[in-house]
Amino acid sequence: MDTENDFMNRDTGAEAFEKVDKIPEQDEEVSTTSFSDAWLKNVDPRVLDLIYWRDVKKTGVVFGSMLFVLLSLSCFSVLSVLAYLSLAVLTVTLSFRIYKNVLQAVQKSGEGHPFKHFLEMNIDLPEDKARDAVVDILKHLNCTFRELRRLFLVEDLVDSIKFGLLLWVLTYVGSWFNGMTLIILAVVAIFTLPKVYETYKVQIDNYVDLARTQKDNVWKQVQEKVPFLKKKEKKQ
């Protein structure tokens, strides 16, 4: 009996040890998942596949096309770019239609219209998805307007000062780059930074934590020397 009890106790201890080992992994997984959900919960999975280069060919085509259009817009007017792109598409479809008609006449086949599948495809936007998108956009706009009102009317002195510093930095950014250049840089960043972060996540997080700690220390020193910059605690 004692031998059997000792064996059961060893089993129980082993199970408890395994459970203790598994707890940190579960916590780490939950924290990682919650962090990802907080940033990416509203992003379509297909968009995530593009920006993380899951399919290199598909992402290359999308990224190259967007970059080509943006570079064209930076050199030519919007009307010229739209006209040239539309003319190029029409030239391809018209040439293919004529080629298929000649081929059908020679082979005496009745394949029909070469773009029949695309002509019969339903391209109407679903009303429910469009309504949800509009509601989501309105929520973000309302939050933005409320935040801007709070900052411009100096509800919190520290936040308004930070906002003023940001606007001051943006004046220099605007003098260095025009709007189209900033859009091109943003597109390049969207297709590069997430993949770089995914590859070097540990190193980047370490440097970010170090920079955040240094920033907090400097800000505390500034608040000690300038007391009115301290945030007032909100009354509950």
pLDDT at residue number 174: 85
Q: Where are the alpha helices (DSSP H) in 41-192?
A: 45-51, 56-75, 78-107, 116-119, 127-152, 157-176, 179-190
pLDDT at residue number 26: 41
Please name the residues in contact with 50: beta carbons below 8 A apart, sequence gap of 6 or more: 58, 59, 62, 63, 191
| 39 within 8 A of 197, measured Cβ to Cβ | no
Q: Encode pLDDT of 94-152 as tens digits.
A: 999 999 888 888 888 777 888 888 888 888 888 888 898 899 999 999 999 999 999 99
| 180 within 8 A of 171, measured Cβ to Cβ | no
Handedness of CA 223, 229, 230, 231 (dihedral sign): negative
Measured distance CA(64)–CA(211) in Å, rounded: 34
> Looking at the predicted structure, is the pLDDT value of residue 188 above 90?
yes
| 74 within 8 A of 181, measured Cβ to Cβ | yes
**Higher per-residue pLDDT: 8 or 109:** 109
**Higher per-residue pLDDT: 60 or 31:** 60
> Looking at the predicted structure, is the pLDDT value of residue 93 above 90?
yes
pLDDT at residue number 96: 93
Mean pLDDT over the full length of the chain: 80
